[in-house]
Structure 1
Amino acid sequence: MTPKPTRRTIAALLLALPLAQPQAQEFTATTDPARAQVTLPEPARPELPSLILIGDSTVRNGRDDGQGKGAEGQWGWGNPITAYLDTTKINVVNRAVGGLSSRTYRTSGHWERTKPFIKRGDWVVMQFGHNDASPVNDNSRARGVLRGIGPEKEDITNLLTGQPETVLTYGAYLRGYIAEIRAAGATPVVCSPVIRKRWEADGIKVTRAGGNFAAWAAEVARQEKVAFIDLNEWGALRYEAWGKATVEKLFPADTPQETVHTNWLGAAVNAQLVIAGLIQNKVLPDSFYLQRFAPDGSDDRPVVDARKVKVEAPRDPKLPSLVMIGDSTVRSGGQNGAWGWGERIAAFFDTQRINIVNNAIGGRSSRTFFTEGRWAAVVEQLKAGDTLLIQFGHNDGARIGDPAGKNRGSVPGIGDETVEDTRPDGSKEQVHTFGWYLARYIDDARARGARVVVLSPIPHKDRWQAGQPRDFENYAAWAEQVAHAHGAQFIDLTMLVTDAYRGLSAAKVENFFADARTHTNDAGAVFNAARVVDGLQRLPGQPFGDLLAKR
């Protein structure tokens, strides 16, 4: 099947984290970016450590407001990256300036204006290269550097400024920043330039950075023993996995000829790569991320080896069964002190009259529970009179096309659109929407005579308090739509738990969790299991009324 990328499709390519709305910055410029009088942000809370960004327009574009076009304007990745970091613990200070090179960021005076904000314990991420291949000396911008990373120099009279200047190699400018950052007691990080939207003749491969700027950045980082984030190669691999039609959605629609500057969505994609690089290089403390991640850039929710978890069978085949499928929030098995609500729900039922069968497995999404063959084994056990509970969503937002996503992400929505993904063995998979997988489960189970109840995911620890947007809004809406369309029932478990949390103190809710924000401990699992039972009792006809334990 040919992939049909849509706006919904693209959303699956992003981490399931809320992106803050961009804030505009004051900007006054001359025709020469090196002389631009830019009002750049300063650390919001000087007492906190800072992540300071320097670079060109692919890091911070213009006024940092999308040219007044909103998400469809041009954006640098330095804006959306803030949404992935805990700004109560670290400042994110985007000091990049559009149009500049590793040379002119220094000669313009922007580096001298940035250095006072760098203090011991900070981190400075640099990304230059897109403008460094320009002419060394002209009366337009005079921003080019000498090729390579060596000691070569060229003395010029700058045609733009009329002043004498000694121009250095690309590598020499990077080493200069690294030395001064270290002298300030901060930690430097080098990025290669973000990938351009340029395709080879075959329309499949992406052209890597010309002039070897990516390779030179990598070599300087290696020589200087600093963290390196290969945005050029990582971005190219991502683009190749998604294909031309999907990648077009990452760039402004009104300028199809644009190959460098992304829209807001493309900037968020590049921001994810930077975050993945920071994680892999162990640059920042884990606690600075809004969600804990594993070293490969994925989140650290348990991904249980399916070969070690047998498919549960009903204890007494003659009895009706309550069968659960889902992820680690339904079944965690005590890993790192985490328990899912499905592991504590049996206490609410008369198990002499009904089987409780928990076939959820950690790390699964609506997609992987199906593609790994686990659903095929579960559905064979269903019979008339059984009830199937389905709860997915926590892992469905994983990044399609990114190895860190572990091939778990589903396409957002409930339609028929698909996106092609590459498995670790090189084979291709047509990934369906979240709603497509739910519909398959519902239809298969009902064909066996089972009742089906779809539940929205339990909320995160940091997404339940009054005044916050509700958690899993899209997944809940999609689950409800599919349930009603395919003859299933729906329980908004997200809000049942949220409302119950709101009746408690924050300290009490904190004590329900075994990790930073996702997995409950034993007490939390019991609490949430009670909410599931509440939801079941509210279903029309109260189908479980005589099967509940007497209390």
Structure 2
Amino acid sequence: MKRYLQSLLLFLFCQSFAMAQAPAASPLPAAVNTDPAKAQVVLPEPANPSLPSLVLIGDSTVRNGHDDGQGKGPAGQWGWGNPIANYFDQSKVNVVNRAVGGLSSRTYVTSGHWQRTLALVKKGDVVLMQFGHNDASAINDTSRARGTIRGTGNETEEIDNLLTKQRETVHSYGWYLADYIAQIRAKGATPVVVSLIPRKRWGDDGKVRRNAGDYAGWAREVARRENAGFIDLNELAARRYDEIGRDEVMKLFPLVTPDESVHTNWAGADLNARIVVGGIRALNLHPLVAALNERGRAIPANPPIPASEDDRPVVDSKSVKAEQAANAALPTLHLVGDSTVKSGGASGHIGWGERIAPYFDTARVNVVNHAIGGRSSRTFLTEGRWQRVLDQLKAGDVVLIQFGHNDGGRIGDPAMKGRASGPGTGPETVEDKKPDGTVEQVHTFGWYMARYVQDAKAKGATVVLLSPVPHRDAWQDRRDFENFARWDREVAERHGALFADLTMAITEGYRRIGAGVVDTYFSDARTHTNDAGASFNAQRVVAAVKGLPGGLVDKWLSAQGRQVEASSC
């Protein structure tokens, strides 16, 4: 027994010694993120310039490093822009992944990558953009200086860039996305905004954290405002993560120290790529859908996301009584627009057109409010409502027209309720196939506004185009509805109408009274005013119209109207 114990002790000692002498296991490699200042990437170009191209721009979650997984194969870091090529027949389309790790929506431009990429874009191409992960970084530092101003507004920050040693004007995240969209469209290509992939992070409710409150939500807002396609990769990937559970999600990311929460491995990149393909199918993007290979065609279109549905109400026309002039012998001030002009008190909403009459002497002029909730410049015409206004118009009348709130969104998207118009003021059209099989040729916002102007002028009436009333959350440090105001102004100048920037006339008033008061003027979170807000906006409409040349309505004003100071907007 004694000999056995001696042998056992000797064995354990030797084992302990051997373990002590053995080299410690190497720690897992740290996460790698491409630094464009240190790694000169060579970006691909279209393999066959005669074919249409799917062009991808973004950060390392779209294309990571040098397309090699940092030498670790499928276990390394990969962006979804790599596996997505496997779902297309590349004899029919080029898949050109020009994303660069470490860049933001701002520095993809300032680094020169966008200029070089845009030179490759041609008519018929589709450009997918996904930024956000790097936009939250510092705006100015000596490391990367890549941050953008939070939100979608037009505010700017002037900096002396500590990294580039150059003077620079920094814009908001949404501004850069909108600028990409405009430049892509100018080349005859189709822009699509993709929200950023979610991080591998869970909330207290056990679900993957979304970014609907910041970069994903801002991406959606810009796409909707600019009438561009949108793929909510952030929400759809998070839903998929929730479905498969935490253990399976861990397998979609590289096993590194510290824990990698942003960049996926090949399996994770492929999951995201499949969601993007599903988004392409849901948007029915030509020519990409026709270029899908068998694997791509096997991926179903992404389901609609309830959160993306257009929650702007459409008023049942049967519940709205058509208004007529009280005295046909008098001239008439006609009001045309949406629910911000006339809501009828539904859910506490009241439009400014319902509170404007006291500013006019009804012994001298009729005030007739033809507006109806939920209509756009497009649907007010196609539903025959404009014709009913024309039937009442006569020489000497004045028509105030305000649309824009319901004109945004993508044509053909059922969530937009068939009311989106095309962006701009040009003659181009887009086909919208209805559920009943009929096809509507949808025009630009400016085309519809020009139609109203021309029709009214032919009747001898004067038209004033008003830019939309601002949203509750878009007046303090930026201007709202910049595009619609510009388009209204262009149409007015081109076709002999008058233009009043009602957006800014109200914004100036809001800034004078402050957010504490303004918040009490709204009956919902963002768009519709209550009685006090409608009364305030009505006064600003009178101020804006009084500021127009020629004293258009001066002779019709009541004592209350004459007391309103003209606005210079």
Q: So what's the TM-score if we normalise by structure 1?
A: 0.58
Shift of 1:33: 5.0
Q: Does 1:277 align with 2:286?
A: no
Instruction: Report the counterpart of residue 160 of structure 2 in structure 1.
Output: none
Instruction: Report the counterpart of residue 34 of structure 1 in structure 2.
Output: 74
Aligned 8 A contact 1:458 1:494 in 2: yes
Separation in 2, partners of 1:174, 1:520: 40
Count of paired positions: 362
Separation in 2, partners of 1:301, 1:32: 49
Aligned 8 A contact 1:322 1:356 in 2: yes
AA of the residue aligned to 2:537: N
Separation in 1, partners of 2:291, 2:280: 19
Separation in 2, partners of 1:234, 1:94: 14
**Aligned-pair identity (%):** 45
Q: Does 1:306 align with 2:351?
A: no
Bigger radius of gyration? 2
Q: Does 1:236 align with 2:277?
A: no
AA of the residue aligned to 2:530: N
Separation in 2, partners of 1:349, 1:343: 13
> CA RMSD, aligned part only?
4.1
Which of 391, 400, 403 aligns to 1:389? It is 400
Aligned 8 A contact 2:314 2:375 in 1: yes
Instruction: Report the counterpart of residue 386 of structure 2 in structure 1.
Output: 375
Change over 3 Å in CA distance of 1:360–1:174 after alignment to 2: closer
Separation in 1, partners of 2:202, 2:442: 45
Instruction: Report the counterpart of residue 327 of structure 1 in structure 2.
Output: 338
Aligned 8 A contact 2:333 2:365 in 1: yes
Separation in 2, partners of 1:528, 1:500: 9
Separation in 2, partners of 1:431, 1:64: 40
- Give deviations 1:182-208, integer Å, cap 9, x for gaps: 99xxxxxxxxxxxxxxxxxxxxxxxxx
Separation in 2, partners of 1:176, 1:396: 36
Aligned 8 A contact 1:118 1:181 in 2: no
Q: Does 1:63 align with 2:101?
A: yes
Instruction: Report the counterpart of residue 526 of structure 1 in structure 2.
Output: 535
Instruction: Report the counterpart of residue 505 of structure 2 in structure 1.
Output: 496
AA of the residue aligned to 1:236: R
Separation in 1, partners of 2:412, 2:206: 32
Shift of 1:63: 2.3
Aligned 8 A contact 1:311 1:378 in 2: no
Shift of 1:505: 1.6
Separation in 2, partners of 1:381, 1:299: 32
- Give deviations 1:401-455, integer Å, cap 9, x for gaps: 1111111111111110000001232200000011110010000001111111000
Q: Which moved more, 1:418-427 or 1:71-80?
A: 71-80
Instruction: Report the counterpart of residue 412 of structure 1 in structure 2.
Output: 423
Change over 3 Å in CA distance of 1:527–1:176 after alignment to 2: closer
- 1:356 counterpart SS class: strand
Aligned 8 A contact 1:347 1:549 in 2: yes
Aligned 8 A contact 2:208 2:242 in 1: no
- 1:409 counterpart SS class: coil
Q: Does 1:485 align with 2:485?
A: no
Q: Does 1:118 align with 2:202?
A: yes
Unaligned runs of at least 5 residues, structure 2: 1-56, 85-96, 122-126, 137-149, 153-194, 211-239, 251-269, 295-300, 561-569
Instruction: Report the counterpart of residue 94 of structure 1 in structure 2.
Output: 197
Change over 3 Å in CA distance of 1:238–1:37 after alignment to 2: closer
AA of the residue aligned to 1:177: I
Separation in 2, partners of 1:408, 1:450: 27
Separation in 2, partners of 1:33, 1:76: 26
AA of the residue aligned to 1:478: W
Aligned 8 A contact 2:470 2:503 in 1: yes
Shift of 1:530: 0.4
- Give deviations 1:144-174, integer Å, cap 9, x for gaps: xxxxxxxxxxxxxxxxxxxxxxxxxxxxx98
Aligned 8 A contact 1:64 1:79 in 2: no
Equivalent residue runs for 1:15-26 within 5 Å: none
- Give deviations 1:204-262, integer Å, cap 9, x for gaps: xxxxxxxxx99xx9xxxxxxxxxxx98766642531xx643xx69xxxxxxx98999xx
- 1:347 counterpart SS class: helix
Change over 3 Å in CA distance of 1:63–1:548 after alignment to 2: same
Separation in 1, partners of 2:203, 2:487: 47
- 2:559 counterpart SS class: coil
Change over 3 Å in CA distance of 1:378–1:259 after alignment to 2: farther
Change over 3 Å in CA distance of 1:231–1:448 after alignment to 2: same
AA of the residue aligned to 1:406: K
Change over 3 Å in CA distance of 1:93–1:318 after alignment to 2: closer
AA of the residue aligned to 2:305: G
Q: Does 1:539 align with 2:567?
A: no
Shift of 1:319: 0.8
Shift of 1:299: 2.5
- 1:413 counterpart SS class: coil
Aligned 8 A contact 1:384 1:448 in 2: yes
Separation in 2, partners of 1:176, 1:438: 47
Instruction: Report the counterpart of residue 517 of structure 1 in structure 2.
Output: 526
Equivalent residue runs for 1:429-508 within 5 Å: 429-466=440-477, 468=478, 470-508=479-517
Shift of 1:307: 3.2
Separation in 2, partners of 1:384, 1:542: 17
Separation in 2, partners of 1:319, 1:24: 66
Aligned 8 A contact 2:58 2:130 in 1: no
AA of the residue aligned to 2:463: V
Change over 3 Å in CA distance of 1:537–1:423 after alignment to 2: same
Q: Which has the higher contact order (CA 8 A, sep 6+)?
A: 1
Instruction: Report the counterpart of residue 193 of structure 1 in structure 2.
Output: none
Shift of 1:546: 2.2
- 2:342 counterpart SS class: coil
Separation in 1, partners of 2:242, 2:423: 43
AA of the residue aligned to 2:374: G
- 1:452 counterpart SS class: strand
Equivalent residue runs for 1:19-418 within 5 Å: 28=65, 29-32=69-72, 34-36=74-76, 63=101, 65=103, 69-70=113-114, 79=132, 94=197, 114=200, 117-124=201-208, 177-178=244-245, 180=247, 235-239=280-284, 243-244=286-287, 276-277=304-305, 279=307, 297-418=308-429
- Runs (4+) of structure 1 exceeding 6 A deviation are 21-26, 54-58, 80-85, 173-176, 256-260
Unaligned runs of at least 5 residues, structure 1: 1-20, 41-53, 86-91, 97-113, 127-172, 184-212, 218-228, 249-255, 261-269, 280-296
AA of the residue aligned to 1:334: G
Change over 3 Å in CA distance of 1:231–1:310 after alignment to 2: farther
Change over 3 Å in CA distance of 1:546–1:55 after alignment to 2: same
Shift of 1:391: 0.3
Aligned 8 A contact 2:323 2:370 in 1: yes
Separation in 1, partners of 2:440, 2:312: 23
Separation in 2, partners of 1:176, 1:530: 53
Shift of 1:119: 3.9
Q: So what's the TM-score if we normalise by structure 2?
A: 0.56
Shift of 1:23: 7.1
Shift of 1:387: 0.5
Shift of 1:34: 2.7
- 1:316 counterpart SS class: coil
